[in-house]
Chain A
Amino acid sequence: MSPPGWGGNLLRGLFNSVLIAAGAYSIGIMVGIAGAFGKLYGGPVLRDLLELYTTIVRAVPELVLILLLYFAGTDLINRLLEAFGYQRIDINGLVAGICVLGIVQGAYSTEVIRGAILAIPQGQIEAARAYGMSPGLLLRRITLPAMLPFAIPGLANLWLIATKDTALLAIVGFNELTQETRTAASTTKAYFTFFLVAGALYLLLTLFSNVIIARVEKWARRGMHVESH
């Protein structure tokens, strides 16, 4: 019942899970910002393509997308490398997992950020344009900070989804927390104990994230008009 060393494996799995979640989340936010701007200010073709992207990603199960992107992505990169005369490379599972989950997260954060930008009082953006700010400066100084309070509840939710979606990579065989747990459990036959411990670890991660999110939300809302009910 007490095999030495499995605790370390679980913690390593947890670390990997957090790493993937953080990486995927950052990629997702970058894709989301680009996607939201494309949807709001882009041309008609770009807008339709982005609509297609968000609709398909949000309608097809993550598991299917992960398999499709994982197989297709690694295959495509290797074929491109071969076509240009380079050696085939063995793509790191960690990087592939981060990219695939990042693309999935990007679709959701596109919608969140688009909604948040639409919630900014239009006068603020017009005033910045009237000052002659370039689009880049406008984005950095006005749009991104002003949309943050509106986007944070949605983005916080996406972070929690990202931490839980890392479990799906267990099916592709990546050694994150769920996969490590299954290995440990099937080796020691103590299924009940190990899955309980892994659940507790995930729960702790969620509760800890909730505390941080509450702090960040308070910070992002500083100086905003507080509605009194």
Chain B
Amino acid sequence: MAEPATARLVDAGARASLWLQPHRIGLIAVGVVLVVCAALFMRWDWLPNYYGLALEGIWRTLWILVVTCVLGFMLAVPIGLVQVTGPRWLSVPAYWFCTVIRGTPLLLQLWFLYYGLGSLFPQYPWIRESFLWPYLRQAWPYAVLSLTLSYAAYEGEVMRGAFAGVARGQLEAARAFGMSRWKVFRRIWLPQAIYRALPTLTGETVLQLKATPLVATITVVDIYAVASRVRQSTFIVYEPLLLLAVVYLCITGILVFAFRKLEARIPARLG
């Protein structure tokens, strides 16, 4: 019992020494010096004033990221599925949805929804009287909607490939076992497609994180908007932007790490 543990320890030690080559120690030293210089010689006195606002901004960025990814993925599954197996009147619109969303900039979609649709809504009295009106006057529903649609289109394309990639024979075997079409989908097709899509899911989610600062342009106060506010009110340019970059790097790191853990849990034997 003790032997494999020590072996693993030795192995980890060897890997660490392989990673920590002499030139890397030099590079790390340079990096530390740069960070210390930044901490000492740049202006950070604004930080206590905006501390609470920044935390709120990080929270809002994460909230938008999680909500839009979950909703977008739920939309992406049917969009991918109908393109593989659906009737023409479903597959053609799904194809064009993906093409249009992937062919235009997200910023334009966001502004189209917020300014374009937002300027049309007040013209209709029945919309203004409906219970949705208090929400439609705020910015965040448009942000969530456009980011969700964008994620759904990109991920829908991935899911289309993933659904098409599952071996025919497996589905036929499941049918031969007398499973209903829904059961085949739930037990065989969907899980295998998700395993296949998982590596690209990491990349798409990081891309989605990188798309979230766009919502600041329609007055949603995420972490990027907080940094811009600091810049505008204190005329300090670099420090908030650098800190912002570090925040995004940390979030990306956590995302990649979490997805890698998730991938490792799933048996990776594809037929």
Contact = CB atoms under 8 A, between A and B. Distances in A.
B245 A195 contact: no
B103 interface: yes
Contacts of B99: 203, 206-207
A167 B108 CA distance: 7
B140 interface: no
Nearest to A58: B206
Interface string B238-265: 1001101100110011000000000000
A195 B111 contact: yes
A71 B116 contact: no
Given A59-B253, A178-B108, A195-B108, A64 B241 contact: yes
B161 interface: no
B109 interface: yes
Interface in A146-193: 160, 164-168, 170-171, 178, 181-182, 185, 189, 191-192
A191 B119 contact: yes
Given A178-B105, A198-B108, A203-B100, A191 B116 contact: yes
A181 B249 contact: no
A126 interface: no
Contacts of A196: 112, 116
A203 B210 contact: no
Contacts of B112: 192, 195-196, 199
Contacts of A199: 100, 104, 108-109, 112
Contacts of A65: 245
B46 interface: no
Contacts of B237: 71
B78 interface: no
A206 B213 contact: no
Contact of A164 (B21, B27, B106, B210): B106
B212 A207 contact: no
A56 interface: yes
Contacts of A48: 23-24, 27
A59 B108 contact: no
Given A167-B105, A195-B116, A61 B241 contact: no
A127 interface: no
Nearest to A190: B119
Contact of B120 (A49, A63, A64, A192): A192
B221 to A, nearest CB: 15
Nearest to B216: A63
A192 B211 contact: no
B55 to A, nearest CB: 18
B207 to A, nearest CB: 9
B190 interface: no
Interface string B143-181: 000000000000000000000000000000000000000
A206 B249 contact: no
Nearest to B209: A61
A164 to B, nearest CB: 4
Q: Which of B24, B105, B224 has most A Cβ within 10 Å? A: B105
A188 B212 CA distance: 29
A63 B212 CA distance: 10
Nearest to A171: B217
Contacts of B107: 167-168, 170-171, 178
A59 B92 CA distance: 34
Given A192-B120, A199-B108, A185 B248 contact: no
15 contacts: A45-B26, A59-B249, A61-B224, A62-B210, A71-B237, A72-B238, A167-B105, A181-B111, A192-B116, A192-B117, A195-B115, A196-B112, A202-B104, A202-B108, A203-B103
